Structure 1
């Protein structure tokens, strides 16, 4: 009911419009922030059993690997729906339910994947090549799938042996293995798919250290250790509860008091203070993802006409909006130097980076005003920005609002609950959304489905033949340097179209109690709890 209420307010324009002023701080060199990705037991004995509570900063969407689009769903699914591949602490792709990296034919059109033996789903069904085939075909064919464009031009999926899958492509597709290290590689129980169909997300069944128990909407999701898990000897906890705590102050307070054991997305405003608290530890890692403005250029709710405003139809107006943002000054002001400015979907730490993908569009309010005048629009030009109603999101939106005034924009900030923002974005019921993407190892996962015509995450409704061609070309190139060049060309065009205006990259900031070990967070932003444990002699 809360989701519908928030959406109704947004659609009717009755949500509170935030106004405010956040003074910009002077720029300086950002402090060094050494990464700490996992909690080691450091030789201390582990205690078997216990109930761990994690404070989750937002409500996950549907627990269905085929249709999910929320980072927070990946947190929960990490414990109960393993993938064919995973990423390591070093950001490398490693086998998970597969036994080794895929074998690829010389022409790049055939891929074979060997699978682990003796693995069972949580419902007792056997994990085999047929289960993989059914999952991949569901990703490709289910209406509303957000995985289809991630998997590429597949022509056939075959279970050629009980533990070997063959995938055939119409043309070579370099990002395929990386896609299988994310939701596209989460394998679902064929028995559960047969029984539940599209209702799978209400009672998901996969292979994992834990299995689904219950969900109380807006409150909590609970999982328990799965005795059928193939590596059950290395699972220490009895149960995990993901408690939804959208308020950053409340998450920080609950970690400090010990009422929760792990908390994600700690605000930079709280992180340094928590580092000094006795009994609390922290993890931090650079993200592969980005935060930015999604501009609606051609997406409308069913039965309605696409937007026809100057912002939607004139590149000059969107270019002006990009010039209205001093990316470095805003992250310095709002996030105390913990986050970094961004101008593209490709992280500077990626092997596919290039000068073009690292380029930050200039902050130039005079050029922005000149573009608005050239476009013949009213000044100040009004823009409604929908934002998740978190403290950090609202602080950034308010700072952006204040800064953009100088460039000729009147930004109205419309806060919504996170899941309501996702719904509005998916339906096309927005002008501009301030939201982000947690990031993938391969740039394909950060760009293709968002930018290509008809892509599963193409929320702006953008269709640009040049971007389509370049992103398609990048999927067929295997040389890292060549792919980086192609992505650089694509970014140059993206910064002209500005259907997405990239703003900054977060650092994943996680807090934990000192009596917990085995917690990890990697560059994809997901907190790993499958092998977490309490330390012997300490309170759970």
Structure 2
């Protein structure tokens, strides 16, 4: 999911008096190996050693329009991150991405069987309460299932994965016990109901689709929205005074919407307390800044080029030609320039390098092979001009529209444009407003090419809507019945190793179908204030809703 949603050095930094992250030591002019997937660097400190109070100032990429992550427009990563602060979280993940129950919400969750069916029984904390003073009960689970299982098309869904595998959600021994019965085994059941949304605020299509626009109507987490100023593009989070669990140390968190090009400057001007250093120019400026420490980690974070399936791209040979014309190694090298470590290229749609299950399945289709790309275009009837710079068929030019987020850099789109040009594919870069990029273009498939990040998909099932036929997040629309079958089999396979093998087979078919091009594992490099504790590069671990984030004394 791009999170929808959400939204990454030692000897090299010594001259600036900064501490290093998990990427390892790198001498000037030498790039070390990237941080292993799952590594983190957050300056861990016990709560009682930190100062109570203070404000954390962070940036987001755009104003948040839709906060309901179950709704089709609710997958924007920053919006999902803010929502997660305000609603009950059932699970927190460790450094390996393995979930453990959050006892403040979930006392226990036991997996069993009944009549051969998988049954999960949840026991909720009896203190858990929504902001409207109603208890959090099994009925909230039941409503989330009914609204997100796809049985009622009035609910505009971001995806049905997992919820459509549930046969029933019912009351257990009491109101705080939930019994969830599945139609078939579902391996990634812990992805469901997390965060839990209030049933009273999503139980009708109107509430579900529009009741969360620019607001969170009911909350049940450690934070709530204190104010949202659209003019200044700031959202201020304050502690939820009725929260029954661990209270935040901070007095507030202020999120400010900024263009990506303005974030570095805002950090250097002491307007925000964290800035990403994953782009070479940003890293160069941030690594030498005063009152700064660079933290690195290995997150599940993919930058992907997605292909449409209309016009010239309706022909799989043209999609494969695009894939063969893209030099992923060159793109990763460009991304690595000026950074303390090399950036990983990706050969998988489902796993990150060094993650269990990772295998490079790109094969011939994912290999940079300009001559193969040209041959495929010839076979598809697109004939090259005398100079090889353009191609036509039946008098029409081969031209693809690459929709570019106006809030982001054009470096990657320009690289891809030049690479495809070598095969005779003309690419128009069409820059659109950042606030419209997903809702008016990507989400509705109004593109030939589009690139964006997908983050924190540690559970493979979170990606199933991206690659299934008719998947709500399969924005390019490329899919096959064979891929669907393998994904369905993986989803029902509780043996992780066997599930990974099925997904690797599906992955090879995704490369062959020309669905998309995983480009590189986006590096997690973050500039933060040195006095900030329990914050930085989280890797695969959960940040516990920022309740432990604070400033040193």
Q: TM class by shorter-chain length?
A: 0.7 to 0.9
| Aligned equivalent of 2:312 | 310
Deviations 1:399-423 (A, max 9, x none): 1112222222222212223331212
How far off is 1:339 after superposition? Answer: 3.1
Q: Are 1:493 and 2:509 counterparts? A: yes
1:197 to 200, 207, 222: 207
How do 1:398-477 residues align onto structure 2 when only pairs under 5 Å count?
398-423=414-439, 424-446=441-463, 448-477=464-493
- In structure 2, relative to structure 1, the CA distance for the partners of 1:480 and 1:342 (3 Å cut) is same
Q: Are 1:212 and 2:225 counterparts? A: yes
Conservation of the 8 A alpha-carbon contact between 1:121 and 1:206: yes
Q: Are 1:350 and 2:340 counterparts? A: no
| Aligned equivalent of 1:331 | 332
| Aligned equivalent of 1:18 | none
| Aligned equivalent of 2:175 | 162
Q: Are 1:115 and 2:120 counterparts? A: no
Q: Are 1:89 and 2:106 counterparts? A: no
| Aligned equivalent of 1:284 | 296
| Aligned equivalent of 2:526 | 510
Which structure dedicates a bigger proportion of its chain to helix? 1
Structure 1 segments, 4+ long, off by >6 Å, are 357-360
Q: Matched residue of 2:355: which SS?
A: coil
Conservation of the 8 A alpha-carbon contact between 1:135 and 1:188: yes
Q: Matched residue of 2:212: which SS?
A: helix
How do 1:223-234 residues align onto structure 2 when only pairs under 5 Å count?
223-232=237-246, 234=247
| Aligned equivalent of 2:268 | 256
| Aligned equivalent of 1:15 | none
Distance in 1 (CA, whole Å) between partners of 2:162 and 2:374 is 39
How far off is 1:191 after superposition? Answer: 4.2
Conservation of the 8 A alpha-carbon contact between 1:172 and 1:476: yes
Q: Matched residue of 1:149: which SS?
A: coil
Distance in 1 (CA, whole Å) between partners of 2:406 and 2:273 is 24
Paired residues, number: 490
How far off is 1:264 after superposition? Answer: 4.5
Distance in 1 (CA, whole Å) between partners of 2:47 and 2:446 is 53
| Aligned equivalent of 1:21 | none
How far off is 1:90 after superposition? Answer: 2.8
Q: Are 1:105 and 2:113 counterparts? A: yes
Q: Are 1:71 and 2:70 counterparts? A: no
How far off is 1:187 after superposition? Answer: 1.4
Segment drifting more, 135-144 vs 114-123: 135-144
Deviations 1:499-528 (A, max 9, x none): 222222202332221232232543469875
Q: Matched residue of 1:493: which SS?
A: helix
| Aligned equivalent of 2:24 | none
Conservation of the 8 A alpha-carbon contact between 1:125 and 1:189: no
Conservation of the 8 A alpha-carbon contact between 2:106 and 2:123: yes
Q: Matched residue of 2:126: which SS?
A: coil
Conservation of the 8 A alpha-carbon contact between 1:316 and 1:375: yes
How far off is 1:496 after superposition? Answer: 1.0
Q: Matched residue of 2:161: which SS?
A: helix
How far off is 1:76 after superposition? Answer: 1.1
Q: TM-score, normalised by structure 2?
A: 0.82
Task: List runs of 5+ in structure 1 lacking aligned partners.
Answer: 1-27, 298-306
How far off is 1:242 after superposition? Answer: 0.5
Q: Matched residue of 2:478: which SS?
A: coil
How far off is 1:376 after superposition? Answer: 0.3
Conservation of the 8 A alpha-carbon contact between 2:110 and 2:120: yes
